[in-house]
Structures are given as C-alpha cells and as structure tokens.
Structure 1
Amino acid sequence: MEIPAELGRVLVIVPTYNERDNIERLVGRVREAVPSVDVLVVDDNSPDGTGKVADAMAAADEQINVLHRTAKNGLGAAYIAGFRWALDRGYDVMVEMDADGSHQPEELPRLLDALTDADLVIGARWVPGGRVRNWPLRREVLSRGANTYARLMLGVPLHDSTGGYRAFRAATLEKIGLDDVDSRGYVFQIDLALRALREGLRVVEVPITFVERTHGASKMNRDIMVEAMWRITQWGARERLGKLRRPR
C-alpha cells in the first residue's frame, strides 16, 4: 500500500518489554504491509534482550529506529517518549501498535485511509465488523465492561476507547498536549481519546481483528485495571460536577 500523499511521513511506534520472540516478526510484517512507513521500537530495558534484537534490525534497515529507555515505567510513558521523538523529527502521523502480534499490521492501511478524514483513528474490537480471537470469555467481558463503563461515565461516543491500535495526526497530539498526561497503563488510551474529543477533534473507529498473543506474557495486571477504573471514575465525577456548577 502507498500512504495517502496528504498524510505525509508516518511512524509506527512499538513499545517493548520482554518481546524478543515477537518483535522481529511483527516489524517485518509492518514493513511488508506498508513499506514506506518508518518504525520506532521503544524498549524499556527488556531483560530478555529485546533491545539488542531491535538494534540489529535497525542496523540492517534504515527505516527502523530504536529508542532505549532505562526502566519499565508504563505504556503511557513509553508512547509519550515515542511521540516526542517523532514530533522532534517532523513526522506527520504516529501509529500505536502492540509488539505481541495482537494488532495486525495488514490492517494498518485501513487506519491510514480513515485518517485522511479524521484527527484520530482507533482500531476497534467492539464495533460491527470488529472481532477478537482466542480470548477467554472472562477477558472479553472485562474489556467490554470497561468500555461500557467509560462510555457511560465520560459520555464519549466510543465503543473501544481502550483500544491500543490507533493513528494520530501530529497536529492532534500537539493540540491535546502531552505535558500533563500521567496515565501509565491502558487508561492512557482513554485519556488521549477523551482529550481529543474535548478539543472538538474528529475521532473515528474502524473495525479490526484483535488476536491474542501466542508468545510471551500479557502485561495486563490488577494494578493496571485499578488505575483505569479509578481514573475513569475521577474524570466522570469531575465532568458531572462541572456541569452542575455551570450557570443555566
């Protein structure tokens, strides 16, 4: 696929922590699906040597880059580091993509096409045409429940605000601001989507197929879930309080 000319330079950002068994295959699929995109691997000092694998890939392909961080500080911090790296180098579009193969690089053209008429595109599991493969029922119920809770509490018209396969215009990130974003886990995705909507930007969901990883361990844990529920509740309560205080 050729990137639509109006989108400009595109960077796919892939955060990693212990993804040695996945990263080379994933990046290869990205480069095959859309050969003109660049890739940035943001590695949080993986003990399994993921960073070294990424360095070897970068040495062999000038469109692959690696950003080494000194510690594992959460998904949100890794993406913000990647966004800042991209903005400093003049990229026009930044794509978030998991390293574990759950986000299909072959669907990237769909997100980029949708971005020609949007400010932020979210690859969504819980819209018509979206699907999940190899998830236990408990995980699906948890994800659907979290997204429903976010939609009701925050009043956002999104069905998969936690989805992590998404494409931003650089102008979108500059408008919503990154300086005061401190969400660390998957609630980071809700945070950025909410900021975009509150700025009046166009946020579009396109259906994707999410495939559960086959190698390595999921980063989802209780602390991440607690952070998400707590922040959604905080934001929702603040929004309602603000409406009550507004003059009628």
Structure 2
Amino acid sequence: MSDTLVIIPTFNEKENIEAIITTVFAQEKNFHILIVDDNSPDGTAAIVEKQMLQFPTQLFIEKRMGKTGLGTAYIHGFKWALSKKYEYIIEMDADFSHNPKDLVRLYNSCKNEGSDVSIGSRYVNNQVNVVNWDIKRLLLSYFASKYVRFITRIPVYDTTAGFVCWKRSVLETVNLDKVKLVGYAFQIEMKYKAWKHKFNIKEVSVVFTDRDLGTSKMNRNIVSEALFGVIKMTLKGLPK
C-alpha cells in the first residue's frame, strides 16, 4: 500500500501513457496512479487496462463518458483518492512536461517539510524554467500568473501550475463541489481556496518541458475562463 496517489487525467494520450506510467513506477518511492480518462477515442484507456495486468495493486482507472474539463477530471480523482484513504494526492500531466523524478520532491515537501500544498513551480522568484515553448505561449503563461497574483494577492509565483501535491486535509477542507472553474483556471481556484483557508503553500522549483508527443489541450476558451473567472472568484470570495 502507498500513502500517495498520482492522478493523471487523459484525453488522447496513447503516445505517452504507457511510458509515463512505467516511469512513475520506476521512482524510488512507491506511488499509486489513478488515470482519469475522458473517453479517449484513440484507445488510451485500453492501453492503461493492459498495463493494469502488470501493476494490479498500483494502477487504477476511472473512465468518464465525455470530455468535460480538466477541473472536473481532477475533482473526480480527488474524491476517489479521499474515498481510498490516501494521505497525499499529486496532480500530474501525462505528456512528460512534468518530470516524474520531481514527484519525490513534491511529496517530501508535504511529508517532511511542513507544506500542506507543494507546487512544482516554473517561476519561483520570477525565474523562468520552461523548455520548448514558443515565446508567445511563455509570455502568456508567465504574465497570466503575475495577473492572478496581482488580482488575488496570493503569494504564489506559478498560480497556473498543474504539478501539485495536496495533503489530504486540504482536499477535505476545500468544498470540492463548489469549485466552479473547469479548465486550467481550476488550478488557480484550488490554490486560491487553499490559501484563503490558511494552508501552508510552498513552491518547489522544477523545469517544465513541453510535450514531444501528442497535442496540447490549450485553447482560447481556457484562456478566457482564466482571465475573467479569476476576477469573479476574487469578488465572491469563498463559498459557504
């Protein structure tokens, strides 16, 4: 049994999924993995199910009927993790943009260094650690985080980061049913709510490397939700 679950949401990740699972399991710590697949037409789920025969006690899958947003996939995974009594829950992408070798660093930050939330941060102290992004996307991401920091006053440099370790107590405290933002802005809302609940958030410097295989899920609607959703979220504060 492991005390830590790595949640990996997937949609059309057949090029990456087998390798990312194998690499996570190769780390020095024993992690479990939950794949939350949004009915990928490319057969991602079938690849995972085949690997489950090799890792029957470590690898799990939850299959959803459609693609309803990154945030809802993670909420689904969070609730599953809480029901299974994991103490630490880590968000991670399937495409190797998050280095599996950093999983232990995020875990140790929460387990041994007093963090309630540890963020694999690309922009600690305004230093940029991103590889293979074009300048337009890099500037969009960097200034989006600065915009969120300015609007919300949250003391986090990489507010949109998707490589995050949560202590169980944080996810039990945040009302997951009241999380409103469903795209990448979900990452902002979760950090904001953890901060407002006065949990200890620490940024762990990591290098983010853009995917080599598969296609990015970023689009204009996701950006728009982040820009305007943050303002609404800040004005409304925490829901009851």
Report deviation, 1:209.
0.7
Partner of 2:124: 127
Q: 1:74 to 1:34 in 2, by over 3 A?
A: farther
> Could you tell me which residue of structure 1 aligns to residue 231 of structure 2?
233
Q: Which residue in the other structure is 2:41 paired with?
A: 47
Q: 1:15, 1:98 within 8 Å by CA — same for their partners in 2? A: yes
Asked whether the 8 Å contact 1:23–1:54 carries over to 2, the reply is yes
Structure 1 residues not aligned, in runs of 5+: 1-7, 240-248
Over residues 6-55 of structure 1, what are the superposed CA-to-partner deviations in whole Å (9 max), with x where a residue is unaligned?
xx710000000000000111111111114411001110000000000011
Counterpart selection for 1:79 from 74, 81, 98: 74
CA distance in 1, matches of 2:32, 2:105: 17
Residue type of the alignment partner of 2:218: M
- Which aligned runs of 4 or more in structure 1 are off by greater than 2 angstroms? 235-239
Taking structure 1 as reference, are residues 35 and 119 closer, same or farther at Cα in structure 2, changes over 3 Å only? closer
Pairwise CA RMSD of aligned residues? 1.3
Q: Determine which of 68, 88, 108 is the counterpart of 2:103.
A: 108
The answer to whether the 8 A contact 2:29-2:104 is kept is no
Match of 2:115 among 112, 118, 130: 118
* Deviation of 1:234 (Å): 1.6
What is the aligned length?
232
Distance 1:84 1:34, change over 3 A: farther
What TM-score does the superposition give when structure 2 sets the normalisation length? 0.94
**CA distance 1:48–1:212, change in 2 (3 Å):** same
The residue number in structure 2 matching 1:11 is 5
> 5+ residue gaps in structure 2?
none
Contact kept, 8 Å, 2:189 with 2:233, in 1: the verdict is no
SS in 1 for 2:46: helix
Which is higher, the Rg of structure 1 or of structure 2? 1
What does residue range 1-248 of structure 1 map to in structure 2 within 5 Å? 9-62=3-56, 63-116=58-111, 117-128=114-125, 131-238=129-236
